[in-house]
Structure formats: structure tokens, C-alpha cells
Amino acid sequence: MTNIVHRVAGWFFSGNSGMEDVGSIKVYKNTNHPTKAWSEISVKQTVNKVVPLSPDTPISVDKLRVVCISDTHTKIEAVPKIVPDGDILIHAGDFTNVGLANEVKKFNAFLGSLSHQVKIVIAGNHDLTFDDEMVNNRRDYLRRNFGVSEKGFEQLLETYNVQHVKELLTNCVYLEDAGIDVCGVHIYGSPWQPEFCDWGFNLPRGEKCLEKWNLIPSSTDILITHGPPIGHGDACFDKNRAGCVELLSTIQQRVKPKYHIFGHIHEGYGVTSDGHTTYINASTCTLRYRPDHAPVVFDYPVPEGHMKDELLKISPQRLIRSAFH
């Protein structure tokens, strides 16, 4: 399957065209110290806990049932019944442990067993082989630290008759700094997060992260990132914060999505709201890597002029750094 870099009917490619005032978002002075940063800005922030929708709630014809999971780490395939039915499944990254091809194949088969009409997936820091910079320039690092040898990796790709591990995801829409229009709802996905133990899709805090957030279209309704924003679902077991200040600023000041879905910090699982955006840490695995957290479910009203029948027109495809218009 070849990379899709052009407009396809039903797909949403509206990235930053240069007309949006992305320059108004500034790097926070203490962005490199997220716990301190949050203590400073939290006095002007609203963080309300939200009780998610029960998966037993009947699915409506005028609403899209969205089911959110993340950080499954090859564990959920053994308990597929944990995932409730819905129209759209969203996975916010870390579906593997280190990105091995056999892990991806297993995950893809799991996705194929689910009934959701549209399945949307982004990568996370554990999905190492999805990070092109690591694969192209840090092969020795992958081999020494994660046992992903170049020879073994290439042999598996050859066995599966693909050139890139991303091609193994045939049962979902894969988003990497790209978006899709689903029944008039604009969904955008980005795998990046501030540096975290030198795993995949890591960027220095501040300007480098902000460059990625500047790509998020202002018309995004549902945002998917792997890492959390500061202050929402980002508190680690030691009470330190891991979220990104600039991500929160981008969400609150420019993009203003209805929902933001992420994972990464397993112990941050849960749902909160700032009064406009609902933040969902959908980590399936606990801190001990047990798949004990239930998927988070919500309903999104089908926008006027659209129908749920449009779901049938969306076929699994790969979107890799799609061209923005």
C-alpha cells in the first residue's frame, strides 16, 4: 500500500495554512519544569472530574458512539470483550511494547475482530519502529536498548511482504500529524510528547513540541495525542506532572476541541473538563501494565447535513504526514 499524500473524498487534510495565528501561543517560562509550571498556572485553571457515559447506554442514530482506549501494550488482545460496541474506536498509542512487527500484526488482527465501523490509531512512545527518525538514524540504539536488531526487523518485514511496519496496520486509519473527517466531525492525531526516557516520538519541551501543536487545525473537533496536556490526566505516581504546557495552551487558546483523547501516563486514567474541552486519559493498562482500566465512551452528535451512513464509505487507509491544504 502506498502512502496517501493527496486529498481523498471524505478525508480531512486542513492543517495550518499560515492563516491561523499560531504565533500567539508562546513557550511558558517554566515549561521545562512541568510540576512547577502547573502550580503557577493552576490557580487560573478549571479541572472538573467527569463521569463517562455508561457503555450500556443505547446507541443513538443521531450520535456517534466513540470508544477510547490507549496504552494497551499487547495486553488487550487477550481480553477483547473489554471493548464495548460503538461507531468509532480511537486508540491513542502504545499498542505495542517496543514496536516489533509481530506485535503490530497481533494488534492489527485484534482490530479486525472488532465491530466498530471506523478505527483510528496513533502511535505512542513505545511504538518505536513507527518513529521514522529512530528507524532511519538510530538503529544501534534500538538494538542495544530494546533488542530491535536491524537484521531481525528487516527479515520480519520481508516475511510479511511490507517495506514499513506501518503497512501492517490494515484494519484502521493510522494518523501521524494528520486528520480525517468522519461524518462531518474533524479528528486529528499526533504521536508526539515531551522527552520521556528517550523512547519514540520524543521532543524537547517548549519550542519543538509547540511546532507540532502548531500543525493542529483550529477546526479540529476531536484531538488525539499520545501525551497529555499539563494538568489533565498527567499526574504520575510520585505526584509529579508529565503534561505539556504548550499543548494545553494550544487547546485552550486556539484549537478549542470538544474532546482531547490521550494516554501515556497510565496512573492518570480518567476524564476531566475545563468547561469547554473534555480531556480523556484512556490508558487501558495500569501502572503495573495490567489491562484493568475500562474503555472510555462518549457520544458525539452527528453534525447537521451529515448522516451515520457515511461511516460505511470510510475504508481503512494509512495517512502518514499527509499534505496540508
pLDDT at 59 over 50: yes
Q: Which residues contact 208 (CB under 8 A, 6 or more apart)?
A: none
- Structural domains of the chain sorted by starting position, each given as residue range(s) with its CATH number in brackets: 22-319 (3.60.21.10)
Contact 116, 87 (CB under 8 A): yes
**What is the average per-residue pLDDT within 254-272?**
98
Per-residue model confidence as pLDDT tens digits over 92-110:
999 999 999 999 999 999 9
The pTM of this model reads 0.92
Q: Calculate the CA 299 to chain-centre distance.
A: 18
Residue pointed to by grid coordinates 516520538: 201
pLDDT at 28 over 60: yes
- CA separation for the pair 232, 248 (Å, rounded): 9
Beta strands in the chain (DSSP E): 48-49, 63-69, 88-91, 118-121, 173-176, 178-182, 185-190, 193-194, 202-203, 222-225, 259-262, 270-273, 278-281, 296-301, 318-320
Q: Which amino acid is located at 231 in the chain?
A: G
**What is the average per-residue pLDDT within 205-226?**
97
DSSP string, 85-97: --SEEEE-S--SS
